[in-house]
């Protein structure tokens, strides 16, 4: 094994267990011949975990085989806090995916990368996952954002994921009740969250004081910052929303993988990854998070309503096919009401998350979880974050939208 960082956790015995799960066979049938680890994540692309590609050469009953896995190793600080990801992989997601594939004659709807092994030991938590790259899936462009066709594909899959979660909650309410609440349930309550949220509001407020036609919004942003914790707690409180789902909780470009047609380059499918921020709450959280972090600006400006219509139609279709009670199937008005209820999330990600997400790859090489905890380094990083033309153009558009809606 080539890397000294992970073999103590992912030793040969655990790899054999994962292969047994993959092949539905027994330990006695498998012999590992070689195993190699390669770090595949980079600074600025993933803040909560290190991602390795694991290539295994082995034999099953004497027959030579090779398989590639993805090893997700949670950063100890995140593992210590605890997330819903282990429960999602072991209990929830397989059942949710099953709901979508029980309709006779229907193709296979893939929601997630299959998890073959997951364990938690003290500060260490890891997942050995199906390598979706070997199935033709790849990341979209986080710097540029997604086009309209990709946007519709994602909205359809969000709808299927949400529909399946509604069915799951109906059958397994106790498991859903056991999910950890949103990381915003206590507001921006830790050093990292404060740096992202409060630092973002303050930086944008100072920046727009020099923008003609926007100066009057600066004090409003600062007032909203001061009330952010109380407001965001209300947004993620499921008792305050009527269309609750198991949210993904972190739906931006790097947390989805696309499969593209080789000739047209149009997307054929999209699968979600990273489920540590899931919680039971308004569907509007995921919809706003995706729309305002992941789309090219012209798509957001001109196609937002169409995309929400696509979501609603796909949600209704998935529930009808699963014979959900017709009277309880949400309408477009129900969906739009939840999007409005969670509008604060749209503002938050526009000001605070998009500048991180769209940061050019040269600057992001120096961006780590520790950066958020160091005020001096974070101050330096904000210069390229907010100098980004995509970020500026989005703010020029979205700030006026939030003013017109009454949020600002």
Q: Is 200 found in the same domain as 141?
A: yes
Q: Is 73 found in the same domain as 145?
A: no
User: Tell me, what CATH number does 301's domain have?
Assistant: 3.90.1200
Please list the residues that pair with 138 across neighbouring strands.
258
Q: What is the mean pLDDT of the chain?
A: 92
Give a yes or no: residue 215 inside a domain: yes
Give a yes or no: residue 90 inside a domain: no
Give a yes or no: residue 93 inside a domain: no
Q: Which of 73, 93, 128 is the last residue of a domain?
A: 128
Q: Is 63 found in the same domain as 140?
A: no
98-143 residue pLDDT tens: 999 886 556 688 999 999 999 887 778 889 999 999 999 999 999 9
User: Tell me, what CATH number does 52's domain have?
Assistant: 3.30.200
192-249 residue pLDDT tens: 999 999 999 999 999 999 999 999 999 999 999 999 999 999 999 999 999 999 999 9
Least confident of 231-245, 278-292, 361-375: 361-375
Residue 369 has pLDDT above 50, yes or no: yes
Q: Is 353 found in the same domain as 208?
A: yes
Q: Indicate whether this model's pTM tops 0.75.
A: yes
Q: Is 214 found in the same domain as 146?
A: yes
Give a yes or no: residue 273 inside a domain: yes
Residue 12 has pLDDT above 90, yes or no: no
| φ, ψ (nearest 5 deg) of residue 25 | -135, -170
pLDDT at position 339 = 98
Q: Is 57 found in the same domain as 173?
A: no
Give a yes or no: residue 107 inside a domain: no
Give a yes or no: residue 96 inside a domain: no
User: Is residue 238 exposed (0-12), middle (13-18) or buried (19+ Cβ within 10 Å)?
Assistant: middle
The residues, any chain, with a CB within 8 Å of residue 340's CB and separated by 6 or more, are: 284, 405
Nearest to 69 by CA among 94, 92, 29, 35: 35
Q: Mean pLDDT over residues 182-198, rounded?
A: 94
Rounded alpha-carbon distances, angstroms, from residue 54 to 36, 127, 129, 163, 295: 6, 12, 10, 33, 32
136 or 365, which is more confident: 136
d(CA 140, CA 161): 19
Q: Is 155 found in the same domain as 17?
A: no
32-53 residue pLDDT tens: 999 888 888 766 566 778 888 9
Are 51 and 40 contacting, i.e. CB atoms less than 8 angstroms apart? yes
Q: Is 384 found in the same domain as 335?
A: yes
Give a yes or no: residue 275 inside a domain: yes
Residue 30 has pLDDT above 70, yes or no: yes
Domain that holds residue 176: 136-405
pLDDT at position 177 = 97
Q: Mean pLDDT over residues 249-265, rounded?
A: 94
Q: Which of 101, 128, 155 is the last residue of a domain?
A: 128
Q: Mean pLDDT over residues 328-332, rounded?
A: 95
77-104 residue pLDDT tens: 777 777 899 999 999 999 999 999 886 5
The tally of CA atoms less than 13 A away on the side-chain side of residue 45 is 15
Number of domains in the chain: 2
Q: Is 383 found in the same domain as 339?
A: yes
Q: Is 344 found in the same domain as 208?
A: yes
CA 272 to the chain's CA centroid? 7
pLDDT at position 375 = 92
Q: Is 385 found in the same domain as 267?
A: yes
Q: Is 143 found in the same domain as 123?
A: no
Give a yes or no: residue 89 inside a domain: no
Classify the C-alpha dihedral 292-294-296-302 as positive or negative: negative
The residues, any chain, with a CB within 8 Å of residue 363's CB and separated by 6 or more, are: 44, 381, 384, 385
Are 161 and 278 contacting, i.e. CB atoms less than 8 angstroms apart? no
pLDDT at position 3 = 45
């Amino acid at each position: 094994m080539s890397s000294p960082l992970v073999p103590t956790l992912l030793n040969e015995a655990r790899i054999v267990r994962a292969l047994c799960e993959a092949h539905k066979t027994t330990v006695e049938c498998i012999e590992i011949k070689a195993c190699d680890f390669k770090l595949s994540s980079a600074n600025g692309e993933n803040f909560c975990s290190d991602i390795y590609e694991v290539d295994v050469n082995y034999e099953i009953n004497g027959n030579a085989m090779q398989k590639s896995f993805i090893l997700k190793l949670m950063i100890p600080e995140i593992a210590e806090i605890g997330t819903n990801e282990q429960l999602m992989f072991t209990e929830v997601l397989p059942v949710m995916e099953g709901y979508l594939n029980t309709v006779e004659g229907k193709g296979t709807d893939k929601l997630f990368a299959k998890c073959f092994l997951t364990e938690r030991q003290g500060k260490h938590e890891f997942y050995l996952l199906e390598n979706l790259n070997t199935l033709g899936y790849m990341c979209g462009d986080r710097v540029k954002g997604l086009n309209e066709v990709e946007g519709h594909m994602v909205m359809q899959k969000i709808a299927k994921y949400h529909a399946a979660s509604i069915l799951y909650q109906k059958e397994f309410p106790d498991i859903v009740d056991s999910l950890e609440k949103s990381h915003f349930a206590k507001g921006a309550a830790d050093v990292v969250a404060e740096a992202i949220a409060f630092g973002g509001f303050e930086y944008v407020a100072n920046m727009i004081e020099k923008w003609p036609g926007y100066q009057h919004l600066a004090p409003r942003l600062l007032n909203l910052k001061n009330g952010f914790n109380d407001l965001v707690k209300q947004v993620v409180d499921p008792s305050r929303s009527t269309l609750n789902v198991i949210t993904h909780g972190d739906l931006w470009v790097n947390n989805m993988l696309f499969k593209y047609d080789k000739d047209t380059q149009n997307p054929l499918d999209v699968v979600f990854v990273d489920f540590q921020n899931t919680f039971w709450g308004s569907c509007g959280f995921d919809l706003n998070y995706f729309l305002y972090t992941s789309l090219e600006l012209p798509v957001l400006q001109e196609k937002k309503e169409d995309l929400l219509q696509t979501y609603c139609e796909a949600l209704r279709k998935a529930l009808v096919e699963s014979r959900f009670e017709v009277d309880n199937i949400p309408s477009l008005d129900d969906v739009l009401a939840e999007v409005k209820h969670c509008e604060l999330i749209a503002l938050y990600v526009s000001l605070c998350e998009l500048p991180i997400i769209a940061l050019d790859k040269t600057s992001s090489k120096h961006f780590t979880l520790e950066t958020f905890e160091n005020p001096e380094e974070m101050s330096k990083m904000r210069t390229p974050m907010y100098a980004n033309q995509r970020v500026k153009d989005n703010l020029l558009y979205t700030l006026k939208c939030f003013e017109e809606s009454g949020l600002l």
